[in-house]
């Protein structure tokens, strides 16, 4: 075994970060790559091509020089993926190629950390209305590039989600191997342009690893429609399963929506201290693993609003644990829930809803 690479030890169940450093990661730590950006080149309407052949096997940007400057300041020299990969590629019935776990994977385990091979700002691509011209411009990236982006890209906001003109699409070829499931077992998050893919629940050896391509709170019919608009019929277990399961699932989703509205409405007198717990339990029952963080957060806040210290703390701790997986251990949301767990009575919500009852 090469020095510095630890062997995979399946008995270390609590280990959430990658079990071992890949040889590539060790090489980068020892010998960081020089930054070698080229561009702007081939500008059309202020949108140009920038490329870096060295970083991570090559990255191209199609954006304005302003955003290229921001993106180039990001750290592309990252590789903290699980090593050896706990999955393999296989043809999956009715879905084409997909990824399958080659061992049991613990919830929260980091499966992949990837930087994009291509980042393209969306507005200019839409604005390049003359199709031939747009295709010629995009063709610089290779054949069928437009279709490849459309089917395999992920949304990235380069400079804050709310700022106009900052929406980009990023292509992550490895991540594009995950097939869709309406109840996925894998969650991804993007910080700067780096994508971290995490197990959203414990996964058994042999299970397919899946993400969701659509909003999983949508009712079954709408989810299927959205998937159809991606150009395929959904073959996931819930979509292909018995009709009564879909009916039960849709009923739960409606109840989740109702409770969410009630919890958000301070005039709604149906809400009790337990409403948040019911809301969270429905997420668990429905298998919405990558959304438990916000569900537990609502429950924790609702218990605080009703002045129940013990239950508020209990749910805040659960929320912090889930949010560390969903948004990252240092995320503001996870920290806020740690703060609530520390002292629910000091939180601004404390007793507010109970007082309204009187
Ligand atoms: C991003 S790619 C995923 C990898 C793909 N299976 C492959 O062979 O390269 C998306 C494509 O995978 C297939 N796919 C993904 N999830 C599916 C699902 N739940 N049911 C049926 N096909 C699916 C569809 O053909 C879809 O256009």
Residues 138 and 355: their CA atoms lie apart, in Å, by 60
Residues 6+ apart with CB under 8 A from 222: none
Q: 221 C-alpha vs ligand 1 centroid, how far in Å?
A: 19
Residue 116's closest CA among 199, 64, 175?
A: 175
Contact (CB, 8 A) for 101 and 120: no
pLDDT band at 76 (very low <50, low <70, confident <90, very high): confident
Residues 317 and 320: their CA atoms lie apart, in Å, by: 5
* Residue 99 backbone phi and psi in degrees, to 5: -115, 140
What are the residues facing 190 on neighbouring strands? 195
Mapped onto helix, strand or coil, the DSSP state of residue 268 is coil
Give the mean pLDDT of 8-33: 55
**Which atom of ligand 1 is the closest one to the Cα of 151?**
1
328-353 pLDDT, tens digit each? 999 999 999 999 999 999 999 999 98
Residues 38/51, Cβ–Cβ less than 8 Å: yes
Q: 166 falls in which pLDDT band (50, 70, 90)?
A: confident
Q: Which residues of 265-300 are buried (b: 16+ CB within 10 A; e: fewer)?
A: eeeeeebebebbbebbebbeebbbbbbbbbbbbbbb
**CATH topology (fold) of 23-211:** Beta-clip-like (2.170.270)
What is the predicted pLDDT for the residue at 346?
Answer: 97
Show me where the domains of the chain are located.
23-211, 243-357
Q: Residue 148 C-alpha to ligand 1 middle, in angstroms?
A: 13
Work out whether the CA dihedral 21, 23, 24, 28 comes out positive or negative: positive
Task: List helix spans (H) across the chain.
Answer: 23-30, 65-72, 122-127, 131-139, 145-152, 220-229, 237-240, 243-264, 275-286, 292-305, 309-326, 332-342, 352-357
Q: How many separate helices (H) and strands (E) can be counted in the chain?
A: 13, 13
- The residue to mutate among 179, 211, 212, having the most atoms of ligand 1 within 8 angstroms of its beta carbon, is 179
CB-ligand 1 contact for 152 (6 Å cutoff): yes
Which residue, by CA, sits nearest to atom 4 of ligand 1? 177
158 vs 296, which has greater pLDDT?
296
Residue 9 has pLDDT above 60, yes or no: no
Tens of pLDDT, residues 203-258: 999 999 999 999 999 999 999 999 998 889 999 999 999 999 999 999 999 999 99
């Amino acid at each position: 075994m090469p020095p510095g690479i630890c062997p995979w030890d399946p008995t270390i169940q609590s280990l959430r970060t990658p079990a071992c450093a890949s040889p590539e990661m060790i090489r980068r730590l020892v010998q960081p790559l020089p930054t070698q950006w080229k561009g702007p080149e081939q500008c059309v309407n202020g949108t140009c091509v920038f490329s870096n052949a060295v970083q991570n096997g090559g990255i191209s940007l199609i954006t304005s020089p302003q955003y290229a400057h921001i993106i180039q300041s990001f750290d592309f020299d990252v590789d903290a993926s699980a090593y050896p990969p706990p999955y393999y590629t296989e043809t999956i019935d009715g879905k084409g190629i997909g990824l399958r776990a080659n061992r049991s994977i613990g919830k929260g385990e980091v499966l992949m950390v990837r930087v994009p091979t291509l980042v393209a700002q969306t507005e200019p691509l839409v604005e390049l209305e003359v199709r031939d011209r747009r295709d010629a411009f995009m063709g610089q990236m290779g054949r069928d590039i437009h279709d490849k982006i459309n089917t395999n890209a992920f949304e990235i906001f380069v400079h804050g989600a709310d700022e106009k003109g900052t929406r980009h699409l990023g292509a992550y070829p490895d991540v594009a191997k995950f097939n869709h499931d309406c109840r996925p077992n894998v969650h991804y998050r993007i910080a700067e342009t780096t994508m971290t893919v995490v197990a959203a629940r414990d996964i058994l050896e042999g299970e397919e690893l899946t993400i969701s391509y659509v909003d999983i709170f949508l009712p079954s019919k709408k989810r299927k429609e959205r998937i159809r608009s991606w150009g395929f019929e959904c073959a996931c277990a819930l979509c292909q399963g018995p009709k009564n399961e879909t009916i039960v699932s849709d009923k739960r989703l409606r109840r989740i929506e109702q409770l969410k509205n009630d919890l958000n409405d301070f005039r709604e007198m149906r809400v009790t201290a337990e409403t948040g717990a019911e809301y969270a339990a429905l997420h668990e029952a429905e298998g919405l693993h990558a959304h438990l963080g916000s569900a537990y957060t609502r429950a924790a806040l609702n218990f605080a609003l009703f002045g129940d210290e013990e239950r508020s703390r209990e749910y805040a701790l659960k929320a912090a644990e889930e949010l560390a997986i969903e948004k990252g251990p240092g995320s503001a949301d996870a920290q806020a829930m740690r703060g609530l767990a520390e002292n629910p009575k000091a939180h601004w919500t404390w007793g507010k809803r109970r007082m309204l009852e009187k």
